[in-house]
Amino acid sequence: MKVYAINGSPRKNNNTATLLQKALDGVKEAAKDKEIETEIINLYDLNYTGCKSCFACKRLGGASYGKCAIKDDIYEVLEKLSQADGIIFGSPIYLSNITGQLQSFLERLLFPYLVYDENYSTIAPKKMPTAFIYTMNAQEELMDKIGYPSTFNKIESSLERILTKPLVMYSNNTYQFDDYSKYKSNAFSEEEKAEHRRTQFPLDCQKAFELGTNLIK
Residue range 133-173, pLDDT digits in tens: 999 999 999 999 999 999 999 999 999 999 999 999 999 99
Residues lower than pLDDT 70 in the chain: none
36 and 2 Cβ atoms separated by less than 8 Å: yes
Q: Tell me how far apart the alpha carbons of residues 57 and 165 are, in angstroms, rounded to a whole number.
A: 23
Q: Is 138 exposed, middle or buried (0-12, 13-18, 19+ CB in 10 A)?
A: middle
Q: What residues does each domain of the chain span?
A: 2-216
pLDDT of residue 178: 84
Residue 82: strand, helix, or coil = coil
Give the whole-angstrom CA distance, residue 47 versus residue 18: 23
- Predicted structure pTM score: 0.96
Domain 2-216 = CATH 3.40.50.360 = yes
